[in-house]
Amino acid sequence: MRSSLAPGIRLLRSVSTDGWYRGLILVLTFLFYAAFHLSRKPISIVKSQLHMNCSNVPGRPGNISVNDTTWCDWAPFENSNYKELFGALDNAFLVAYAIGMFVSGVFGERLPLRYYLSCGMGLSGLFTALFGLGYYWNIHSIWYYVIIQIINGLVQTTGWPSVVACMGNWYGKGRRGVIMGFWNSHTSVGNILGSLIAGAFVSKAWGLSFIVPGVIIAALGVVCFFFLVEYPNDVGCSLPRQHVNTEEDLENPQMPNSSTEEFFPPGSNHTGENRVDGSVNDASPVEHPEAISFIGALRIPGVVEFALCLLFAKLVSYTFLYWLPLYIANVGHFDAKQAGDMSTLFDAGGIAGGIVAGLVSDYSNGRATTCAVMLILAAPMLFLYNHFGSTGVSTTIAFLVVCGALVNGPYALITTAVSADLGTHESLHGNARALSTVAAIIDGTGSIGAALGPLLAGVISPTGWSSVFYMLIVADICACLLLSRLVYKEMSGWCGSLTKRRGFKEV
């Protein structure tokens, strides 16, 4: 008597080829961009080791005065201007990243993504490791670390436009918000892993806090080269539906509407059938359309507003990314490792915030409104965290999680689902080769804020941490105001839909 087919095999056979490939792309791009953030996080963990109060550190040499509280610091960060030097390191990376991002998207549309991304990951690993090698080579020149940060900032711009473009090619708009909400947790996962890995070595040999993440991202760059698939049709898979059916289309199915068109690149001579999941069965090779210009991408409705909103949202998020461990160490009186571990709670909250933002925006079809509501709630929460966040460990944990969700939720939604939506906007008439450029414009503009946030924090923090939090609250309010037109448009659409429904019921 033969046994029936194993349950696990039946499960595997039930998943279509399309499903396997889409799952592969989801996992690979998740890991790739988590590695980018993993390699950026060590600098924030190592700061509190490069400059610390040495009065209570054991092992003081006999020729060092008891009153010398900087003997264990790493030159040139032992002087009173250490915060300015830390700010210079942060901004060397972030300014280079912001400038390079605008160029990176243009290259990303015109070069094979697999080569472009794998090369960028390899170079990112190299320069991240070179920063850590400064410990073993006993380098104390600030310019060495600044130059490494500048080059690393430039090569890391290959990451975001590439992974967003790849995800946009494989996933349609219908459930894009929730899928990318889960997917965008790679940012927080990378930050958490980066904090834990860097924290494991920071007190013993801080150079390893950079070298180990550098090796990880370089190794994943090799995986990218061998396994990344840019377009579904390259492996005979179906193309995703890039626009969802509106209520009017469902009521008048005979009427053609641009919002219900499938994405068929020009020259594809589509003859396939629509599938139940909204994808299109098209296994024939296609000629991909020409990439959109930079100015053409700026003309897509909503790109400018969301890009400027992200500038302020990312200012807040990256100030936390680079300064939160130091703030926790100073205010909560934790050591470097404990502060690094505690800061991961902010990223854990960011995971939940990104998923909730994606779910709500998919259900309501209101990306801008979802972002605006979370930004409105974030401002008073930042005020409360500043005044009451350090009263106890449990209070600190609660505020970190909630602030992380409200700060990173809009940031996650704009950089993923919104960027992909705008990169496949109706006005492009099916040309999806705007994804990388749109993602680069939005994230590049946001990166200007990411550079300004840590810089301003470094300048303002000597006057007190409260001043830094007031700056973050103002930036949060500005981000919300920039979405006013889009929020009004979405609400007007909801009111119009309610009016139509009432009219149909009365008839």
**In the prediction, which pLDDT does 79 show?**
82
Assess contact for 400 and 382: CB atoms under 8 A: no
What is the tens place of the pLDDT at every residue in 379-429? 999 999 888 877 778 888 899 999 999 999 998 888 877 877 776 656 555
**Integer CA distances (angstroms), 344 to 45, 131, 397, 401, in order:** 11, 23, 10, 9
**In the prediction, which pLDDT does 54 show?**
74
Round to whole Å and give the CA distance between 416 and 187: 11
Assess contact for 429 and 451: CB atoms under 8 A: no
Round to whole Å and give the CA distance between 409 and 370: 9
**In the prediction, which pLDDT does 1 show?**
52
Burial of 139 (0-12, 13-18, 19+ CB in 10 A): middle
Assess contact for 144 and 76: CB atoms under 8 A: no
| pTM of model > 0.75 | no
What is the tens place of the pLDDT at every residue in 56-115? 766 666 666 666 667 777 888 888 888 788 888 888 998 899 889 888 877 877 788 899
**In the prediction, which pLDDT does 158 show?**
93
Q: Using 70 as the pLDDT threshold, list the residues of the chain that sit under it.
A: 1-6, 8-10, 12-13, 15, 55, 57-69, 172-177, 241-293, 423-434, 500-507
The full DSSP string for 392-447 is -HHHHHHHHHHHHHHHHHHHHHIIIIIHHHHHT-GGGTT--TTHHHHHHHHHHHHH
Residue with tokens 């898979």: 237
Return the axis-axis angle of helices 393-413 and 336-364, rounded to nearest 10°. 40
Q: Is the dihedral of CA 136, 140, 143, 149 positive or negative?
A: positive
The full DSSP string for 184-219 is THHHHHHHHHHHHHHHHHTTT-TTHHHHHHHHHHHH
**In the prediction, which pLDDT does 288 show?**
52
Beta bridge partners of 274: 280
